[in-house]
């Protein structure tokens, strides 16, 4: 006797009706509503992207996982660097200060992995102006974390850039650059501390910053599986010694599944069919990561009417603030 499981509903597009909306931005995963009063309402949808392509099916609970994990980290690191967040009135929503984004992504790397490893294999020993020592193997730790910034593109792929090029292009001032570096390294150190306490290693991550009333604030998400790479600490040294691949807790498994199905976002390639079993496995992995990083049990929100639930919760919050 076989049974079929109906997957929970997903939110692939939000349509909040809010007072004083001046602009709506829809990214690969998040929808952002900018309000006339200087606040922004950010919705984490269940969309999932890889290779700069939004995949055709939503992932149940993914938006909630990303939003609640990011909120957990934003509140937990506010003493390290000031951030944009004010409240999370719904499991999929954060409300915060509207900031003018600095079009630079601050990528901090503690280990030789991912893009850095691919460049290293090709002989590069300088990445975005940051030196990478000789003699390292994949997943080895750098002597000290390095910052390898990229341009924050409005469309298409982000590109590696050096600090000198950032200043030459006027993307930020020297003072802003120094502040972002200081915050990024401090946030990474705190992120590593939090991860270590949960039996994980924060390998690399990216931070985004914005300007608000002459101050630099951390914006967007922080330390989520979409913006970060984690290794399992247990067995890390042994796997390195044996030359084995490290066990990851990140979105990398989605990319690997796509690669195995001949998709890397290149022209002419078709996104493979995402069946229910694969979609559920992705959802389960995101929930596992949430529970592992936070040490809290994930409690799924009601998905019977996600749009209505969000509207009611955001309306109630904004009504109390007016």
pLDDT for position 90: 98
Which residues are CB-contacts of 83 (< 8 A; sequence separation ≥ 6)? 74, 77, 96, 217, 218, 219, 222
pLDDT score of 147 more than 50: yes
For residues 38-47, average pLDDT: 97
Whether the pLDDT of residue 93 is over 60: the answer is yes
- What whole-number distance in Å separates Cα of residue 112 and Cα of residue 106? 16
What pLDDT score was predicted for residue 225?
83
Query: What sign has the CA pseudo-torsion 292, 293, 295, 298?
Result: negative
pLDDT in the model for residue 226: 85
First to last CA, the chain: 56
What torsion, rounded to 10 degrees, do the Cα atoms 180, 183, 186, 190 define? -120
- Residue 5 reports pLDDT greater than 80: no
For residues 112-124, average pLDDT: 96
Q: Say what percent of the chain tops pLDDT 90.
A: 87
In the numeric block, the tokens 């799924």 are attached to 300
Q: What is the pLDDT averaged over residues 180-209?
A: 96
Assess whether pLDDT exceeds 80 at residue 119: yes
Which architecture, in CATH terms, is 21-99+272-321? 2-Layer Sandwich (3.30)
pTM metric for this prediction? 0.91
pLDDT at 2 > cutoff 60: no
Domain ranges of the chain: 21-99+272-321, 100-242
**Which class in CATH covers the domain with range 100-242?**
alpha beta
Q: What pLDDT is recorded for position 3?
A: 40
Predicted pLDDT of residue 152: 67
- Flag whether pLDDT at 1 surpasses 60: no
């Amino acid at each position: 006797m076989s049974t079929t499981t109906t997957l929970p509903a997903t939110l692939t597009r939000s349509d909040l009706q809010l007072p004083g909306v001046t602009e709506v931005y829809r990214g690969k995963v998040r929808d952002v509503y900018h309000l006339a009063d200087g606040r922004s309402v950010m919705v984490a949808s269940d969309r999932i992207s890889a290779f700069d392509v939004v995949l055709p099916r939503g992932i149940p609970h993914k938006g909630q996982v990303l939003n609640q994990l990011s909120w957990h980290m934003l509140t937990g690191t506010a003493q390290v660097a000031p951030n944009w967040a004010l409240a999370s009135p719904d499991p999929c929503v954060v409300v915060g200060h509207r900031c003018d984004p600095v079009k630079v992504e601050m990528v901090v790397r503690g280990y030789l992995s991912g893009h850095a490893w691919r460049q290293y294999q090709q002989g590069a020993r300088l990445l975005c102006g940051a030196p990478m020592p000789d003699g390292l193997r994949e997943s080895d730790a750098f002597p000290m974390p390095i910052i390898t910034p990229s341009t924050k593109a409005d469309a298409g792929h982000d590109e590696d850039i050096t600090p000198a090029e950032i200043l030459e292009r006027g993307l930020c001032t020297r003072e802003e650059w120094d502040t972002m570096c200081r915050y990024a390294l401090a946030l990474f150190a705190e992120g590593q501390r939090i991860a270590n306490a949960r039996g994980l290693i924060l390998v690399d991550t990216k931070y985004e910053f914005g300007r608000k009333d002459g101050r630099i604030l951390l914006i967007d998400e922080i330390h989520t599986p979409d913006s970060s790479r984690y290794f399992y600490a247990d067995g890390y040294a042994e796997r390195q010694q044996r030359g084995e691949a490290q066990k990851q807790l990140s979105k990398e498994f989605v990319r690997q599944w796509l690669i195995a199905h001949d998709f890397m976002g290149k022209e002419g390639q078709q996104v493979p069919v995402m069946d229910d079993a694969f979609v559920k496995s992705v959802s389960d992995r995101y929930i596992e990561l949430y529970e592992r990083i936070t040490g809290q049990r994930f409690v799924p929100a009601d998905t019977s009417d996600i749009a209505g639930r969000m509207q009611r919760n955001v309306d109630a919050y904004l009504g109390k603030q007016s």
